[in-house]
């Protein structure tokens, strides 16, 4: 029998498939469609300290093999997520969650991490460092080794849960930023976040998205994601969650061969709400075809 289980920082996952933050909400749109307990874990929608409306409409632009979004971290805020959304999701999903947290200053990251540390349903903290640093001139935390290291160190001080730093691909050398996070105490890394993209309506002569630019995701970015996971896997010794355009069981295995211990599925959920279920169902047969008895054995096999 094929074993498709894996592990993240001592947490057992029945399989490596995790819906990515921002594409699965808090599970409400999915739990009537299929049994959420088939999933390895769920990375819940990014949480900020205060409630956020997000960016102005329109926020979505379609692209060949992908989409651009500029939702702007719309969420009900930390208290509502902890006291309302997570308890409701826990009625339908009975495994450790991944809590994605976003801050605009170091104290905000610390406050979120401290609050999530007390939530029993949360197994891993996924720290999104793609937010602009309001005390650092607006540059995203994730574009600086120093900022990434500082966020990591401060978050690690207030939580006993594994801390995974979610890295931005919009940098010159992602491996050096990954190493900075590892050296500062990160337990793992998630990558990649969205690339920066833009579409223009040539008839209106205006950007399609109100915010002009947004995060580009979908199958078109998969080769970039695989390359970056491979580079980071060679630079660090901590586990990786790979993401970026994953939409099939073949993509999952390719990402794991590059060095990921688990994989998040993002934009594919918006196209097909059964994407994760289909991938999980396809994995055992694909493993048999590839003569893989234990899926975790292929992690990082590409040298």
Give the separation between CA 10 and CA 280, rounded to whole angstroms.
Answer: 21
Return the structure tokens found at 50: 């205060």
Return the structure tokens found at 181: 């996070």
Q: How many CA atoms lie within 13 A of 90 on its CB side?
A: 16
Give the separation between CA 39 and CA 45, rounded to whole angstroms.
Answer: 16
Give the separation between CA 8 and CA 241, rounded to whole angstroms.
Answer: 9
Catalytic residue among 131, 145, 276, 287: 131
Show the beta-strand stretches assigned E in 122-266. Answer: 122-128, 163-166, 188-191, 195-198, 200-201, 206-207, 213-217, 240-242, 262-265
With contact defined as beta carbons under 8 Å apart, do 126 and 190 qualify? yes
287 as an active site residue: the answer is: no
Buried/exposed code over 194-232 (b: 16+ C-beta within 10 A; e: otherwise): bbebbbeeeeeeebbbebeebbbbbbbbbeebbebbbbb
With contact defined as beta carbons under 8 Å apart, do 167 and 192 qualify? yes
Helix (H, G, I), strand (E, B) or coil at 43: strand
Known catalytic residues are: 131
């Amino acid at each position: 029998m094929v074993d498709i289980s894996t592990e993240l920082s001592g947490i057992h996952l029945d399989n490596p498939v995790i819906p990515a933050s921002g594409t699965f909400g808090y599970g409400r749109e999915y739990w009537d469609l299929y049994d959420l307990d088939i999933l390895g874990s769920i990375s819940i929608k990014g949480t900020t300290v205060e409630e956020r409306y997000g960016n102005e409409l329109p926020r979505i632009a379609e692209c060949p093999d992908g989409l651009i979004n500029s939702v702007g971290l719309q969420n009900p805020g930390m208290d509502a997520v902890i006291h309302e959304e997570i308890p409701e999701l826990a009625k339908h999903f009975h495994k450790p969650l991944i809590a994605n947290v976003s801050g605009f200053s170091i104290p905000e990251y610390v406050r979120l991490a401290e609050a999530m540390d007390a939530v029993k349903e949360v197994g891993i903290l996924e720290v999104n460092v793609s937010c602009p640093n309001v005390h650092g001139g607006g540059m995203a935390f994730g574009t600086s080794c120093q900022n990434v290291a500082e966020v990591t160190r401060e978050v690690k001080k207030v939580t006993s849960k594994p801390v995974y730093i979610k890295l931005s691909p919009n940098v010159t050398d992602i491996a050096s930023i990954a190493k900075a996070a590892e050296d500062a105490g990160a337990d793992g890394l998630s990558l990649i976040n969205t690339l920066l993209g833009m579409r223009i309506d040539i008839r209106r002569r205006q950007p399609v998205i109100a915010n002009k630019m947004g995060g580009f995701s979908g199958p078109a970015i998969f080769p970039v994601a695989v390359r970056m996971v491979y580079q980071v896997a060679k630079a660090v010794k901590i586990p990786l969650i790979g993401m970026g355009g994953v939409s099939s069981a073949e993509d999952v295995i390719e990402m794991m061969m590059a060095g990921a211990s688990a994989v998040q599925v993002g934009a594919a959920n918006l196209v097909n709400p059964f994407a994760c279920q289909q991938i999980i169902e396809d994995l055992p047969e694909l493993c048999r075809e590839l003569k893989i008895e234990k899926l975790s054995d292929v992690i990082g096999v590409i040298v």
